[in-house]
Amino acid sequence: MLYNGETKGANGFGGRCRMIRWNRLGLVVIAGLAMSTACSKPPVLGVLLPISGSAATYGKSMSDAMHLALDEAQKKGDVPKGFKAYWADSASDPATGVKELKVLADEDKARFVIGGCTSDVAKALLPVLKKKQVVCLSPSASAPELTKKSKLFYRLFPSDELEGLRAGTFLYQEQGKRKVLIFSSGNEHARGIEPEFRHQFEQNLGGKVVARILLTDSNWQQQAVDAITAGQPDSAYIIAYAQPTVKVLKFLRGRHFQGTICVTSAFYNRAVLNANKKLVEGVFLPLPSFDPQSKAKNVQAFVQAYQQRFGVEPDIFAAHAYDAMRVALYVLKNTKYQVAEEYQKTLRFGLNDFKGVTGIIRFDDYGDVHHNPIIYIVKNGEVLNFERYRKEQLAKIRKEILGLTGS
């Protein structure tokens, strides 16, 4: 099945710019057709996203952003000669992710992959990366141990440890909350965030966790009712992906819970926010450094291009995926020998403080980028920098007071 794209000429893709075929799962896979005769091993990129399954809402925004980055690079001539990109679906499932990674490595000969978008899938990929000698750049996996367990795994998203620490500090010190009810999905994402949150909130600051509700339990709602009645928490922390978080929010709103509600960065999905505007009003969440309202030229250019093309504002997953594609193209273009060891050298020493829309990208010895989370609040369906929002509200109040006094 062919896509009749434009003929691009000397942009690195040659004539017909892309080929589309169906893979084992019935998913569209895109590959550049041109081959460079000057290099025996042309740059090959594998892209492994959760296009279907429980994390599909994240996969959609990430896929859109990656295609945008790829098209922009193509227009600028930043795509490596002979470049090929093969796309596959992890189905949000570790076993499927492993299967598709093996195909990308064995059949498509990819030695650099953007993938491992959820922590569960990323963890399952680590042994395959070592066996096949493939470098993986994850836009969004955040479990702390991932980069510690593999020198071949790199990520742009902050570690869950940083997010848990920030949430604990925010609820106790900045919101003055002393008792919290935790709702946990119990997956790799939650296991990465919860220990650091509890260490900060309970041990360091002296707060109390009144109960931990495991969302996989069939009677979690009754457990939560009992915990609220007995413990009287003044805050709730929901550690889960978007859809389970929506269920907890509906429960809390239904119980007329008056405490502060904090969720994780995994909740920031534009489709989910748009579909639940009233439900999410006033919810707090720690997010990585991407700010759609930033005045930075590269951020504004990305936001405008994404909105114009897809009709919505990019979320943090789109932003990190956009940067992941740009980093991948840079590495493939600036690495002479297309093998894992050389990719690692370029990632560690050749990026030269790469300027991304999520901030300066500089990998440490483990493969992490250190961007400290910032607290945001949802207001009228918009995700706003809370510190900026608070200052704007104070300025508005002062202006109204001055207007009343005639000063």
What local confidence, expressed as pLDDT, does residue 32 receive?
Answer: 42
Q: Are 235 and 171 in contact (CB under 8 A)?
A: yes
Flag whether pLDDT at 1 surpasses 70: no
Whether the pLDDT of residue 259 is over 80: the answer is: yes
β-strand partners of 356:
359
Q: Does the pLDDT value for residue 325 go beyond 50? A: yes
Each residue of 34-72: pLDDT tens digit?
334 334 578 999 999 999 998 998 999 999 999 999 999
The pair phi, psi for residue 160, each rounded to 5°, is -60, -25
Q: What is the pLDDT of residue 407?
A: 57
d(CA 343, CA 334): 9
For residue 270, what pLDDT band results from cuts at 50, 70 and 90? Answer: confident
Q: How confident is the model at residue 150 (pLDDT cuts 50, 70, 90)?
A: very high
Q: Which residue ranges does the chain devote to CATH 3.40.50.2300? A: 7-158+294-361, 160-287+374-395
Q: What is the pTM of this model?
A: 0.82
pLDDT at 6 over 50: no
CA trace torsion 279, 282, 287, 289 (10° rounding): 130
Q: What is the pLDDT of residue 406?
A: 62
**15, 84 contact by CB (below 8 A):** no
pLDDT score, position 271: 85
Position 130: which residue type?
Answer: K
pLDDT, residue 28, reads 37
**Phi then psi dihedrals of residue 154, to 5 deg:** -125, 155
Q: CATH topology for 7-158+294-361?
A: Rossmann fold (3.40.50)
Token duo for residue 17:
């710019």
- What number is the average pLDDT over the span 295-308? 96
Architecture in CATH for domain 160-287+374-395: 3-Layer(aba) Sandwich (3.40)
Report how far residue 216's alpha carbon sits from residue 212's, in angstroms, rounded to the nearest whole number. Answer: 12
Which regions of 4-122 does DSSP assign to beta strands (E)? 7-9, 14-16, 19-22, 28-31, 44-49, 84-89, 112-114
Q: How confident is the model at residue 15 (pLDDT cuts 50, 70, 90)?
A: very low
Mean pLDDT of 338-344: 96
- Tokens found for residue 125: 């990929």
- The dihedrals phi and psi of 328, each to the nearest 5 degrees, come to -60, -45
Whether 117 contacts 49, CB under 8 Å: yes
In the chain, % of residues over pLDDT 70 = 89
pLDDT of residue 18: 34
Q: Which residues pair with 135 in a beta bridge?
A: 112
Coil/strand/helix, residue 224: helix
CA distance 403 to 399: 6
